[in-house]
Amino acid sequence: MVHAFIMVKTAAGKSEGLLASIRGLEMVTDAHIVAGNYDIITEVDAEQVYDVLKVVSSNIQSLEGVTDTKTYIAMD
């Protein structure tokens, strides 16, 4: 099992609307609006690293209002 954290930057005023969309994605286990360099932190559990990359590139980055993402794979 692969556990990952996806940091998401959004366009101004889009975080709240995107939060529900992100939480509804398959393999997303949790998501929160945060203060800092990124606007939303998303947690993903997947079978393989490839599955995490698919969630990011095909699902999260394609949402209108997402401007940038950064993916961190948990090592513990």
For residue range 7-23, what is the model confidence (pLDDT) as tens digits? Answer: 999 999 999 999 999 99
> Residues of the chain whose pLDDT is less than 70?
none
User: Considering just the CA atoms, what is the radius of gyration of the chain in Å?
Assistant: 11
Q: How far apart are CA 53 and CA 12, in angstroms?
A: 25
- Paired residues of 44 in beta bridges: 4, 28
Per-residue model confidence (pLDDT) at position 9: 98
Per-residue model confidence (pLDDT) at position 27: 97
Per-residue model confidence (pLDDT) at position 41: 98
Per-residue model confidence (pLDDT) at position 7: 98
Per-residue model confidence (pLDDT) at position 24: 97
